[in-house]
Structure formats: C-alpha cells, structure tokens
Amino acid sequence: MNNVEIKNIIKDGLTKNNMTQAKLAALLGIERATVNRWCVGRAIPEADTFLQVCKILKIRLDSYLFNCEDPLNSQLITLTARLSDRQKISLSRILTQMIQMLHDSTAG
C-alpha cells in the first residue's frame, strides 16, 4: 500500500464512522495534526498504529490486500487473519527482528 491508498482508507473510515480526525487522534493518544498528515497523504502511520486505526475504524484490510496480484501475499493475509491478537503481536516482533537482520546484513 502506498500513501494515497492509506490516506483513502483512513479518510473513508473516518467518514463511515462519523469520526473526526481529532477524535481518532484522542483515541490513539496522538496529536490531531498527525492524523491530518495521514489524511492528506503527507505521512503514513507506523504499521502497528495503522492496525490500531483500522481496529478503531472497523476497517478490514483484507478487502484492500486481496485485490493484489501476488498469491503469496493473499495466502499470508489469510493465515494472519486467523491468528489471535497475542499471536499477531509475536509475529510482528519476529518480522521486525527479521527485517532488522536483513537491514544489518546489507548495511555492512
């Protein structure tokens, strides 16, 4: 997903939930200006924050992600959707560590 897609997902979610940027920011414990930057496409939230946004706005990401052409991506989304919240947190930590390891191996 790119900035424009994320911007549209958040804006649509706010509209469908009759929620203001200020209310979303308050629920997330962040500045309203940060949510505004997301809504105009000047920034995107961190992955964990984006998942919180989706949860608050009752947005199902699979409907956006299943439109992709990559069958592996679709399979991973399907499998991930079946995980408990605790398992998703563990998976996120593992993936973060793997990304860091890949970054370290290519940087040096």
pLDDT tens for 40-72 read: 999 999 988 998 999 999 987 766 665 556 667
pLDDT of residue 67: 57
Lowest mean pLDDT among 7-11, 58-62, 101-105: 58-62
pLDDT of residue 43: 92
- pTM here is 0.60
Measured CA distances, 57 to 1, 11, 61, 91, 103 (Å): 18, 10, 11, 23, 33
Structure tokens at 28: 């997330």
